[in-house]
Amino acid sequence: MPGWTASPEAPHGRQHDDRPASRPDPGERPGHRSYEVIHLGGQAAVVVPVSDFLRLRALEETASAQELEDAEDKSALADWRAREAAGQTSYLTHDEALRRLGLAG
């Protein structure tokens, strides 16, 4: 399935962008489903069955504030690991970060 990006000219703000859809590595988490990844308006999105979405929504609605925070932390770490594996992260020295932020003195 092709990716899509926002476009005011296209119906419902979607326009084909010719990027192929990708699939996450199914070996990443044994026993878990892999879902198709598409691109919408410059963001990656995952295509999931409605039943999976409803189950996730029910879990989210019954989770405590701490459980939601823990899930957000786990999600952020998974996102960083995926970007790291794809070579999309970079590093700066402490001094260079201070310089770029205008805090070097």
Give 14-29 pLDDT, tens digit per residue. 444 444 444 444 445 5
Q: Would 39 be classed as within a structural domain? A: yes
Assess whether 77 and 66 both reside in one domain.
Answer: yes
Domain with 11, as residue range(s), is: 1-24+32-47
95, part of any domain: no
Is there a single domain that holds both residue 67 and residue 41?
A: no
**Would residue 101 count as lying in a domain?**
no
The answer to whether residues 64 and 78 belong to one domain is yes
Whether the per-residue pLDDT at 103 is higher than 90: the answer is: yes
Residue 97 falls within a domain, yes or no? no
In a domain, 56, yes or no: yes
Residue in the block written with tokens 């805090």: 103
What is the 3-class SS of the chain, one letter each residue? CEEEEECCCCHHHEEEEEEECECCCCCCCCCCCCCEEEEECCEEEEECCHHHHHHHHHHHHHCCHHHHHHHHHHHHHHHHHHHHHCCCCCCCCHHHHHHHCCCCC
Cα separation, 46 vs 37, whole angstroms: 5
Task: Please report whether residue 79 resides in a domain.
Answer: yes
Number of domains, the chain: 2
Residues 39, 76: one domain? no
Going by C-beta distance under 8 Å and a sequence separation of 6 or more, which residues neighbour residue 49?
A: none
Residues 53 and 73 both lie in one domain: yes
Q: What does the pLDDT look like over 50-83, one tens digit per residue?
A: 999 999 999 999 999 999 999 999 999 999 999 9
pLDDT at 37 over 70: yes
